[in-house]
């Protein structure tokens, strides 16, 4: 490089930065000259820290870019930048403050600054009234912690920062506390800090006196993660369901065709379609934060106590009610005072009443005493399911009763249930559908509460199930439906081998062994099915013994599970076998159905109105006029030559009432004429038209 160009280097920082990165040792003198210039500028800047200095800004970025080339000379440089930010953070010019932060970020990216001290400083800078700066610091903190924990968890750093954030949540600056909380939530959602300590630090935000922090903490626990792509699982499930449907259709082809068998096949495919829809339905609740709370009972009690005393707006109260109900429902907590609190809001005129009903059902579980839930049901029925309300209100009330009873069936009494089932023939289809869904629920959970005509045709599944007592837990040690499988595959193979040898030995006289088999009725077809599936002829005790033996001695394959699903569908459709005289059947719990509603309810389950209400006249007219757009005006295409000319008597008669014309023209006599009279009238009409020139 020529001497002329070298002399310009001290005044051209970008060029000097470029050559230093290529050959640091050759330009040490130029670098030291700029460093001394920087130190003098800092001394001047400290006299007036609120004043902007362009030369200091340029020198700061220059030194941050080349600091890794001269670590021995710039060993104190990162601490100088930290001291400037820590001392004058609130009075600095926004551009100077941004430059100092960018310089520290460059040093951190090159590993010249420890993350603990730098991130702690950046958390304190959240107090600055600079939205752009806070956004930049937020992104850097999240990305830095993500890079640090990319290969392995840095527990020491994570613990230090989590403790620091815990103190920041109680900071006097609400903005700094809110940003610290946002950082923790972002790291949790990125699966970086998804441990119990993070969740329990965020729990403290739900008791903040600042509304923004309180709402952010509530939204965190009430939110849900986006579900990942489960294409493989869904494909395998669809293949399994398709195999079961294929077996049903093959049975239809093989067996004798009749109306009864076609009806059974159609019903089986409908039930299978419902099962498939339930299996494919995505779980709305995939958020593990509520499961990581250390003491959910204490959390729910403190939050409910705060709810009773809070003066926040109604939307915030709803969020708190929702969170308490989720805690009670998921962890099956005991919070008896919560139900009378909800009972005050169960009114049709209440704002967001459907959400209140949703939270009521969500907070119900089997360990709540039925007496407490029964009072809630009585209030719900008295206020909603009455004919003085609209049909939509009644349907919503019945849906809410159904969801509550799905989680606590013992709360429903026989008298109240039989009163609600009377709406199965109500004039409104939405009320009728809601009442029938309640009947369908109790057919599975406790059919003894229903009236005899509402129990429906008993099936094998309904006879095998029994209602659970309060506090009873069912822990089966077998897979329901496993009795349909064989004992061992090897034995089956040996039997098949023996059968094949026997068949080959007797093949020479096979012509003499043919018999004519005539399937004359559907009963014979059912008997054939029973012969193919010997598990249908077993008693309850034998089914349990067989299912237990198979479940404990075999590793089931996908084909076995397909056979079990087919058997469960058959049980749901097949009629219950008649008990023999003098023999009692013990009630054995075969199916261990989970809670009907799952962990989280959807608002559609409460607001579901199965049928659209009738439109009023204004809506019908609007639809009618919308259909006429772009169409020619209806009416006679024959127009008058003079639009102002008067009408004839024939045209006037069209607008007159019938009673004015009845005496003058005997209209009915026209339909009593003889054939000759009709010929004469037709001839006269044709002659009249020919005279006028129409023909």
Q: According to the model, what pLDDT value does residue 555 have?
A: 84
Q: What is the pLDDT averaged over residues 234-260?
A: 56
> Residue 25 burial by CB count (10 A; 0-12/13-18/19+): exposed, middle or buried?
exposed
Q: According to the model, what pLDDT value does residue 202 have?
A: 92
The closest alpha carbon to 100, from 128, 73, 72, belongs to 128
Q: What is the pLDDT averaged over residues 214-234?
A: 65
* Confidence band of 355 (pLDDT split at 50, 70, 90): very high
* Confidence band of 241 (pLDDT split at 50, 70, 90): low
Buried b (16+ CB within 10 A) or exposed e, 452-480: eebeeeebbbbbbbbeeeeeeeeeeebbb
Q: According to the model, what pLDDT value does residue 524 have?
A: 46
Give the chain's largest Cα–Cα span: 132
Residues 370-390 have pLDDT tens digits of 999 999 999 999 999 999 999
C-alpha distances in Å from residue 609, one per residue of 59, 98, 432: 70, 56, 10
Q: Reduced to 3 DSSP states, what percent helix, strand and coil does the chain have, rounded to the nearest 5?
A: 65, 0, 35
Q: What is the pLDDT averaged over residues 104-127?
A: 89
**C-beta separation of 26 from 75 below 8 A:** no
Residues 460-480 have pLDDT tens digits of 666 666 667 776 777 777 787
pLDDT of 537 above 80 = no
**Chain centroid offset of residue 129 CA:** 39
* Confidence band of 595 (pLDDT split at 50, 70, 90): very low
> Who contacts 188 (Cβ-Cβ below 8 Å, separation ≥6)?
194, 198, 199, 202, 220, 289
* Residue listed under structure tokens 């993500």: 146
Q: How far apart are CA 381 and CA 386, in angstroms?
A: 7
How many of the other CB atoms lie within 10 Å of CB of 421?
Answer: 19
H/E element holding 644? none
Q: According to the model, what pLDDT value does residue 527 have?
A: 47
Q: What is the pLDDT averaged over residues 314-336?
A: 93
DSSP H helices, 457-488, are 460-464
Q: According to the model, what pLDDT value does residue 460 have?
A: 67
* Confidence band of 675 (pLDDT split at 50, 70, 90): confident
């Amino acid at each position: 490089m020529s001497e002329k160009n070298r002399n310009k280097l001290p005044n051209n920082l970008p060029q000097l930065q470029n050559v230093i990165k290529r050959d640091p040792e050759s330009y040490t003198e130029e670098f030291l000259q700029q460093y001394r210039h920087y130190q003098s500028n800092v001394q001047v800047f400290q006299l007036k820290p609120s004043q902007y200095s362009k030369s200091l800004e340029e020198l700061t970025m220059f030194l941050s870019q080349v600091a890794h080339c001269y670590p021995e000379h710039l060993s104190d440089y990162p601490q100088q930048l930290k001291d400037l930010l820590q001392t004058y953070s609130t009075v600095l010019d926004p551009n100077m403050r941004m430059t100092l932060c960018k310089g520290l970020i460059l040093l951190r990216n090159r590993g010249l600054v420890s993350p603990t001290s730098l991130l702690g400083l950046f958390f304190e800078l959240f107090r600055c009234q600079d939205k752009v700066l806070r956004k930049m610091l937020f992104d850097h903190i999240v990305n830095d912690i993500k890079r640090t924990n990319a290969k392995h968890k840095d527990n020491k750093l994570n613990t230090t920062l989590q403790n620091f954030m815990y103190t920041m949540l109680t900071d006097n600056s609400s903005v700094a506390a809110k940003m610290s909380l946002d950082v923790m939530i972002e790291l949790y959602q990125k699966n970086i800090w998804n441990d119990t300590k993070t969740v329990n630090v965020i729990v403290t935000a739900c008791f903040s006196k600042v509304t923004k922090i309180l709402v952010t903490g509530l939204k965190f626990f009430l939110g849900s993660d986006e579900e990942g792509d489960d294409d493989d699982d869904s494909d395998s499930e669809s293949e399994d369901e398709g195999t079961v449907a294929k077996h049903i259709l093959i049975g239809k082809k093989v067996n004798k065709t009749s109306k009864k068998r076609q009806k059974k096949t159609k019903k089986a495919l409908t039930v299978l379609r419902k099962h498939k829809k339930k299996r494919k339905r995505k779980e709305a609740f995939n958020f593990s934060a509520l499961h990581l709370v250390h003491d959910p009972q204490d959390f729910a009690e403190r939050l409910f106590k705060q709810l009773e005393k809070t003066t926040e707006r109604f939307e915030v109260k709803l969020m708190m009610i929702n969170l308490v109900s989720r805690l009670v429902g998921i962890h099956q907590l005991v919070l008896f005072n919560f139900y009378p609190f909800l009972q005050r809001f169960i009114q049709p005129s209440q704002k967001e009443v459907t959400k209140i009903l949703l939270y009521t059902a969500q907070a119900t579980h089997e360990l709540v005493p039925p007496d407490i839930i029964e009072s809630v049901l009585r209030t719900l029925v008295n206020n909603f399911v009455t004919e003085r309300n609209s049909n939509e209100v009644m349907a919503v009330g019945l849906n809410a009763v159904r969801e509550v009873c799905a989680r606590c069936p013992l709360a429903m009494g026989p008298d109240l249930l039989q009163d609600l089932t009377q709406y199965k023939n109500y004039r409104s289809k939405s009320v009728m559908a809601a009442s029938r869904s309640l009947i369908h629920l109790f057919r599975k959970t406790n059919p003894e509460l229903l009236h005899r005509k509402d129990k429906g045709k008993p099936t094998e599944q309904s006879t095998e199930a029994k209602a659970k007592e309060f506090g009873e837990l069912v822990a089966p040690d077998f897979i329901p439906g496993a009795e349909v499988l064989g004992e061992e595959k090897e034995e089956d193979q040996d039997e098949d081998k023996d059968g094949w040898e026997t068949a080959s030995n007797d093949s020479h006289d096979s012509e003499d062994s043919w018999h004519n088999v005539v399937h004359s009725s559907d009963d014979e077809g059912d008997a054939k099915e029973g012969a193919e599936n010997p598990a249908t002829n077993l008693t309850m005790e034998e089914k349990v013994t067989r299912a237990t033996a198979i479940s404990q001695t075999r590793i089931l394959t996908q084909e076995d599970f397909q056979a079990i699903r087919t058997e469960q569908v058959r049980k749901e459709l097949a009629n219950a076998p008649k008990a023999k005289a003098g023999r009692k059947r013990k009630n054995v719990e075969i199916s261990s159905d989970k809670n009907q509603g799952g962990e989280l309810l959807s608002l559609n389950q409460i607001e579901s109105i199965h049928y659209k209400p009738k439109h009023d006249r204004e809506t019908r007219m609007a639809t009618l006029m919308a259909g006429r757009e772009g169409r020619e005006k209806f009416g006679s295409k024959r127009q008058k030559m003079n639009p102002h000319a008067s009408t004839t008597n024939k045209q006037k008669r069209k607008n007159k009432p019938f009673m004015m014309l009845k005496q003058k023209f005997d209209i009915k006599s026209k339909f009593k004429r003889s054939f000759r009279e009709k010929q004469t009238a037709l001839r006269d009409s044709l002659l009249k038209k020919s005279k006028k020139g129409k023909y």
